[in-house]
Amino acid sequence: MKQKTFNFKRTGVFILFGLIASFATVLTTASSAAAQDHWPKEVTIGYQKSGSLIILKATGELEKRLKPFSVTVNWAEFQSGPPMLEALNAGKIDLGIVGETPPVIAQAAEGSSIVYVANEPASPKGQGLLVEKSSTLKEITELKGKKVAVAKGSSSHYFLIQALAKAGLTLNDIQVTYLAPAEAKSALSQGDVAAWAIWDYHYALAEIQTGARLLIDGTGIVDNHYFYISRHDFVDQSPSLLKELLAEIDKTDKWEQTNPKAAAEAISKASGVDAKVFEKAFLRRSGYGIHTLSPTVIAAQQKLADTFYSLGLIPKPITIKEAVWQP
């Protein structure tokens, strides 16, 4: 019987061509991915007068991290979340941090491009319903018919809604007075409003500067997460840059946890606000570090969105999961 033999020379050529083709495919795929992963010449970060971002701005650590990639960092300060997300939707900033409510309102807006990319741990004690130091009010039910200040569309807006609901009241049972934090603090101290729903650091600032008294905080009422928000085009085109940004923010956030006094002094120097204010606010924080959104966090945001839609505070129902980045 004649035994069949292989032509090793010819077979070797076929194998070599196969390996070259496979390697070429890998290179093409890698090249395609690299082309999609765009590194812009600059990135703009939105921040407020507290938290890790203002420390990161002051230290310059983000600029050092991005220097090898030739990316310039720009910073834009905002008083609250809603105007920050307006700027984000308009393409004026690429990443910012806001409370629970602003991204819900932003997502419900026509042509929204916002994306949740990470969140900080829940911090319910960072929300407070304050009254003036000489006020005789002791229960939320006593606010019926009275003026209560809150920043429209802020995290404290939702906190106020939920705090009233817990007491068997609605926004219709009080006179809601929409004011920015600085105006609300003045209105409370002058007796123009009976109470003020507000978040830290403004909450701590009112306690220290005016002696404002806490009626109730967010414990058992809201989660009070802070979210890092970006845009669809930015996360789609520059995921590697986004990961670098989040990694450096997480590093700063954890430094803040282990060095609260130094962190308070750093924020004070950058913002011009007394360090004692931030130290007081830090005592109410429940955790540090940033995380990708869990199903539990997404469900909590969905509850907020459904509540706002039911009250006519957003024009249409939304699905939070559709605006969550899946790295």
Which residue ranges make up each domain of the chain? Answer: 42-122+225-323, 124-217
In CATH terms, the fold of domain 124-217 is D-Maltodextrin-Binding Protein; domain 2 (3.40.190)
Q: Please tell me the predicted confidence (pLDDT) of residue 24.
A: 41
CB 159 within 8 A of CB 222: yes
Q: Please tell me the predicted confidence (pLDDT) of residue 287.
A: 86
**CATH architecture label of 42-122+225-323:** 3-Layer(aba) Sandwich (3.40)
Mean pLDDT of 307-326: 96
Give the confidence band of 36 by pLDDT, cuts at 50, 70, 90. Answer: low
The DSSP letter of residue 94 is S
Mean pLDDT of 66-70: 96
Instruction: Residue 155: name the closest of 53, 253, 82, 229 by CA.
Output: 82
**Using CA atoms, how far apart are residues 236 and 107, in angstroms rounded to an integer?**
17
Question: In this structure, what token pair is assigned to residue 189?
Answer: 């101290």
Question: Tens of pLDDT along 151-184?
Answer: 999 999 999 999 999 999 999 999 999 999 999 9
Structure-model confidence comparison of residues 22 and 174, the more confident one:
174
Detail the DSSP E strand segments found in the chain: 42-47, 72-77, 95-98, 114-119, 127-131, 147-150, 175-178, 195-199, 213-217, 227-231
CB 123 within 8 A of CB 286: yes
Looking at the chain, the whole-number percentage of residues with pLDDT higher than 70 is 89
